[in-house]
Amino acid sequence: MDFYNTDYYTNRELSWVRFNARVLSEAKDKEIELFERLKFLSITASNLDEFFMVRVASLKDMVHAGYNKKDIAGLKAGEQLNLLYPVLHDFVKDQYSCYRMLAKECQKKGLVMVERHEDLKAEDGEFVDRYFTDHVYPVLTPMAVDSSRPFPLIKNKSLNICALLVKKGKDPSKEKHLEFATVQVPSVLPRLVKLEDKDGQQRVIRLEEVIERNMHRLFLNYDVLGSAPFQIMRNADLTIEEEEAEDLLKEIEKQIRKRQWGEAIRLEVEKGIDKRLLKTLKQELAISDEDIYEIDGPLDLTFLMKVYGLEGFDGYRHSSPAPSEVPQIPAGSDVFAAIRAGDILLHHPYQSFRPVVDFIRQAAEDPDVLAIKQTLYRVSGNSPIVRALAEAAENGKQVSVLVELKARFDEENNIGWARMLEKAGCHVIYGLVGLKTHCKIALVVRREEDGIRRYVHLGTGNYNDATARLYTDMGLLTCSESVGEDATAVFNMLSGYSEPLGWNELSLAPLWLKKRLLKLIRRETAAARAGRQSGIRAKMNSLCDPDVIAALYEASAAGVKIDLLVRGICCLKVGIKGVSENIRVYSIVGNYLEHGRIFVFENDCEPEVYLASADWMPRNLERRVEIMFPLREPALKQRVIHILDMQFADNVKKHTLLSGGEYRKEKIGKNENRLSCQELFEEEARRMTEKRKGKKASRRFIPRSHIDE
């Protein structure tokens, strides 16, 4: 049987839109706190922006280049775009239908979002005009377009207002007298302007409405015949010729600047815009009708994240508990002593990310630590881990850091960190040519009484203390000798040309991980055919690698029961007779972003459990440096299996993939208890901490230099 038959696969881009629709379904869910629903709607807008800037832009590039290779579902780039256009337009309409519903709900709860400046009453108009004069007018730069002033370069994602003008005394009915102008809504000012509270309600108006109300003051001696906000999205997918670049850092900096001026791929305009303004925008931006979105509401719904943060509405937000302490490593304890006592499994955000920070921070301070080596993909804006690495180098330790400069939309941030680390004396590697380094690994080499010992952290998520409170991820702290040897080999491979002949525990992409993964799937297939116990359960962000999907189809056809938890893109189809009847696919969308990668293989009643940084996608398995690692301790394996058990049992946030490609959200049965896995894990983490509090505290960390004193 041909398991690569394109009829068995869903188009990747269409699957992504369905994922964003699941996020939008959270914004529509009346069981969720009102401001959380605003947040989810904002997230759909941010997701959609990136989808246009990268995925739609990439498809357009393929069309321009005449690239005719078909995708996993048998579609050429042009065919994919034609499939997407109506779906995306319908999705945007759905977003704004949801927005109008939420705006009405907000008004009932005491928050009025003034939609149009024309709706302002006299006293509010006076306040807005004063605000414009005092705070906005000095910042604005109106741009006229005429024979001596060409159409300005409109920056990617910037919000602008265009205007149709006629000089006073000229006949506005004559086209030759009409002039076009535009002004950028300054991003340095708050998007939300707070009006005076009235009748016990908070009231806000958007900055673009404040400016549009006062457009006549920007163009003296002209009449403003019409004006409207607009926003463009440009191709932001960097094209970097790494082999040709003499200095990768400088090349990426150059490409980042180009990102602002890439091809326009989406134009959003206010519904009802003057057709003459729209015609000018369309011509000057060289954009086609299918890429124009006439918006019935405020442009750029990401402003709702600012609404989410307004004070006075705590009762309408989800109250997440603070992350629990990791029982084995209470605050202030010696991380290295705790790791020597046994491998430690971390489950974020339910458990604190602090032990990971302390792992690096204590290593920086400990005079017995000789070297620290770490990969960094995305870090927070004020990263304590980066500061600790810099401190370690200043303390004379050998510090090697691989900073992945090609982490999309984090390039500038990572360039800044890389330069800071270099100044501190760290040896900084800027990733590998042709590959992104996406693995999460940190190695500490420590001199101890019985010799050199290596301590390792491996994780499924980034070394980012901010997102560690929002993303569900897992990590392992270990001083296993075999893992330590592998970790050393990883860094030698990243920093030089040393490629090990074999590995003790770790499986690395792009050379070994996919082979290992396919081997594990095929082992389950062989077990099923031989009548032995078999099964595969896996959790990941995305599934679209054709070789992996074909192997899963073959396993299913052989009788292997396969349960998959795929948060986002899933190109696998369920319910195909003789192909995928034994495969079930679910997706969880909740308060936390499901980000961990967990793979469990039944192995004839002796389950093997793996964690990984990699999704089952071609880019992860073939074009990135990724790590998959096993859990050996029985208690840790059982804990991870329990986590999967609870996620598959979720009946609050789980969606089920149907044979037609759509998803159905779970409904709680009459005699069924409510089970939200995210809420359950919060409670379990709290109980684990409380249970441990009664036991003897771990030894506190005191650097040897302090002991000597």
In contact, 182 and 219? CB cutoff 8 Å: no
Residue linked to tokens 């398991």: 3
CA–CA dist 37, 25 (Å, integer): 9
- Can you state the percent helix, strand and coil of the chain, rounding each to 5? 40, 25, 35
CA distances from 645 to 177, 472, 539, 600, 639 (A): 70, 16, 11, 11, 10
Give the catalytic positions in this structure: 438
CA distances from 236 to 52, 257, 352, 430, 553 (A): 9, 10, 34, 21, 36
Work out the burial of residue 533: count CB atoms within 10 Å of its CB; fewer than 13 is exposed, 13-18 middle, 19 or more buried.
middle
Residue 528 neighbours by CB under 8 Å, 6+ apart: 534, 555, 558, 559, 560
For 254, list phi and psi in degrees, rounded to 5.
-65, -40
Residue 644 neighbours by CB under 8 Å, 6+ apart: 537, 539, 565, 598, 600
CA–CA dist 418, 433 (Å, integer): 17
In contact, 595 and 460? CB cutoff 8 Å: yes
Tell me how far apart the 2 most distant CA atoms of the chain are, in Å. Answer: 93
Q: Which amino acid is at 209?
A: E
The SS3 assignment for 237 reads coil
The SS3 assignment for 505 reads coil
DSSP H/E element including 343: none
CA–CA dist 392, 421 (Å, integer): 10
Angle at 430 between CA 429 and CA 433, to 5 degrees: 115
DSSP H/E element including 387: helix 384-394
CA torsion sign for 611, 613, 618, 623 is negative
CA–CA dist 120, 355 (Å, integer): 52
Distance of CA 77 to the CA centre of its chain: 24
Residue 635 neighbours by CB under 8 Å, 6+ apart: none
Q: Provide the token pair at 689.
A: 């901490």
The SS3 assignment for 283 reads helix
CA–CA dist 288, 64 (Å, integer): 14
Q: Provide the token pair at 419.
A: 């330069």
Q: Please count the other Cβ atoms lying within 10 Å of the Cβ belonging to residue 287.
A: 17
Q: Considering only CA atoms, which of 539, 677, 525 is closest in space to residue 599? A: 539
Q: Considering only CA atoms, which of 34, 116, 87 is closest in space to residue 298? A: 116
